[in-house]
Amino acid sequence: MRDSDGNRAAGFIEAGFLALLLVILIAAALWLFFQRVWWFPELASARSLAVDRLFELTLLITGIAFVMVHGALAFFIVRFRDRGTGRALFWHDSHALEISWSVVTLVILTVLVFMGQRVWSDVYFSKAPDNAVLVEVTGEQFMWHARYPGSDGAFGATDPKLITNTNILGLDKRDPAARDDVVVDNTLHLPVNRPARIRLRAKDVIHSFYLPHFRTKQDAVPGMTIEIWIVPSREGQFEIVCAELCGLGHYRMKAMLTVESQEAYDKWLKEQAG
């Protein structure tokens, strides 16, 4: 029961404290995002700049909404706390208000989603340029295998019945196209500034091919072959992460992507084939 004067005094402390907390929350949020203490890994793909931009725009809009709603909440709490005098307003409907905030929300979200769909369709519906490198990446518990088609530019036939410890992808050596295929473990090399088509497959369970520096993530699903394409924009070594829980060694299912000059790439590929 709250009809004693003590409670009315307490109301002020609680309102004030809660409002203060909300203000601190706002401040902490703003600080974290503007200081960029922890931020996205440095971008290595020109194609994904749009994703980052969209993220930043969304952050700005949601940030404003966050500050406004929490600010209002803090203000209302202090302003409308029960001081033990007067009655609350008997006001519970306003079509004008409701329509306006619904429309504003709808418009903002529509704009965001349509901007998002432009990026999305660029990622998924645009065709890779003809000069793209082609590589197949297969995930399994708990390794990544990359396969390059070799000098003939064609992947050889595979058969799961042929899979052993030493023929990890089940290459069918009777197929001439398979003989020059290059298979490397937990390693992927790509030339810089040249598009790369990556065909994703999985042998056992679902894995997810995640390149944090490229803002690229695609599940590798057993029974499916999914192709994505990226354009590495700077040289360096980038970690390939398995992002979909695949079993006890999931956390160790990592590979390394090396982006290098076309010459270095050609040299590396030749070494692997030999």
Ranges within 171-230 binding other proteins (CB under 8 A): 184-187, 203-206, 208, 210, 212-213, 215-224, 226
Residue placing its CB nearer to other proteins in the complex, 31 or 131:
31
Closest by CA to 51, choosing from 227, 212, 207, 242, is: 212
Question: What single DSSP character describes residue 232?
Answer: B
Residue placing its CB nearer to other proteins in the complex, 17 or 266:
17
Going from the C-alpha of 190 to that of each of 187, 216, 265, the distances in angstroms are: 10, 15, 7
Q: Is 100 helix (H, G, I), strand (E, B) or coil?
A: helix
Residue 269 contacts other proteins per CB under 8 A: no
Q: Is 161 helix (H, G, I), strand (E, B) or coil?
A: helix
For the bound state, the minimum distance from the C-beta of residue 43 to other proteins, rounded and expressed in Å, comes to 10
Residue placing its CB nearer to other proteins in the complex, 77 or 131:
77
Q: For other proteins, which residue of 46, 175, 250, 268 counts as binding (CB under 8 A)?
A: 250
Which residue type occupies 21?
L
Q: Which stretch binds other proteins (CB under 8 A): 45-53, 147-155, 189-197, 263-271?
A: 45-53
Residue placing its CB nearer to other proteins in the complex, 16 or 193:
16
Q: Which sign does the torsion angle of CA 89, 94, 99, 102 carry?
A: positive
Q: Which sign does the torsion angle of CA 52, 58, 64, 68 carry?
A: negative
Residue placing its CB nearer to other proteins in the complex, 222 or 264:
222
Number of residues that bind other proteins (CB under 8 A): 120
For the bound state, the minimum distance from the C-beta of residue 152 to other proteins, rounded and expressed in Å, comes to 21
Show the site string, 110-149: x = touches other proteins by CB under 8 A, - = not. x-xx--xx-xxx-xxx--------------xxxx------
Non-local CB neighbours of 268 within 8 Å, separated by 6+ positions: 189, 258, 260
Residue 46 contacts other proteins per CB under 8 A: no
Q: Which stretch binds other proteins (CB under 8 A): 36-44, 128-136, 147-155, 189-197?
A: 36-44
The C-alpha angle with vertex 244 and arms to 212 and 50, in degrees rounded to 5, equals: 35
In DSSP terms, 236 is beta-bridged to 259
For the bound state, the minimum distance from the C-beta of residue 8 to other proteins, rounded and expressed in Å, comes to 9
Q: Using an 8 Å Cβ cutoff, are 260 and 235 in contact?
A: yes
Residue 81 contacts other proteins per CB under 8 A: yes
For the bound state, the minimum distance from the C-beta of residue 130 to other proteins, rounded and expressed in Å, comes to 22
- Within its chain, how far is the Cα of 90 from the centroid? 47
**Residues 60-79 contacting other proteins, CB under 8 A:** 61-62, 65-66, 69-70, 72-73, 76-77
Residue placing its CB nearer to other proteins in the complex, 221 or 264:
221
Q: Using an 8 Å Cβ cutoff, are 60 and 230 in contact?
A: no
For the bound state, the minimum distance from the C-beta of residue 182 to other proteins, rounded and expressed in Å, comes to 11
Structure tokens at 155: 């992947």
